[in-house]
Homo-oligomer: A and B are copies of this chain.
């Protein structure tokens, strides 16, 4: 089951002439390790949202080896992105990629429990969720007090390979469906989902 017609996805990718060698390297590594990274279409979308939002502080819950964080950092003119992952190995890879792309000064790298780490940060402008799917709702509930006015919440994988529309969903899918409904009904937040790759939820604090 697919979300976007694969031929259309191919067409969209064919239009992009990516010139950043670090992004290419990261994409190749993701492919090689079969590591789930948001792809270049999602990356470009994050870049655009960041350019529009002009945030001072972006926090990522679940950075992997830094692909999404790299796109956020590229779009920052004045601000920082906090990358978190529970695996030191991933964070070390991310550090290397950011160095190669001359983006280290825009990033802070942290290893450990993402929600715990991010709880230390106040005045968050963009909160990016890409940790275990069952923890999305918990993350938002805990971190709402740390958000700036007009903060943006972005969550990846909210269509979960299309499983959200299948009968007898498993527990992880149930958790994602519950999270989506929670976000669409959260007072003072305006939420929508973009069916890009695995589904990107965007929610603006109003």
Contact = CB atoms under 8 A, between A and B. Distances in A.
Interface of A: 1-5, 7-12, 15-17, 41, 44-45, 47-49, 51-53, 150, 152, 159, 162, 164-165, 180-181, 184-185, 190-196, 199, 202, 204, 206
> How many copies of the polypeptide does the oligomer hold?
2
A184 B15 contact: yes
Contact of A16 (B45, B52, B152, B184): B184
A48 B11 contact: no
A1 to B, nearest CB: 7
A28 B202 CA distance: 26
Contacts of A202: 48
A15 B180 contact: yes
A165 B11 CA distance: 7
A110 to B, nearest CB: 27
Nearest to A200: B194
A190 B51 contact: yes
A10 B190 CA distance: 19
B15 A193 contact: yes
Given A152-B52, A204-B52, A9 B192 contact: no
A9 B48 CA distance: 23
Contacts of A44: 190, 192
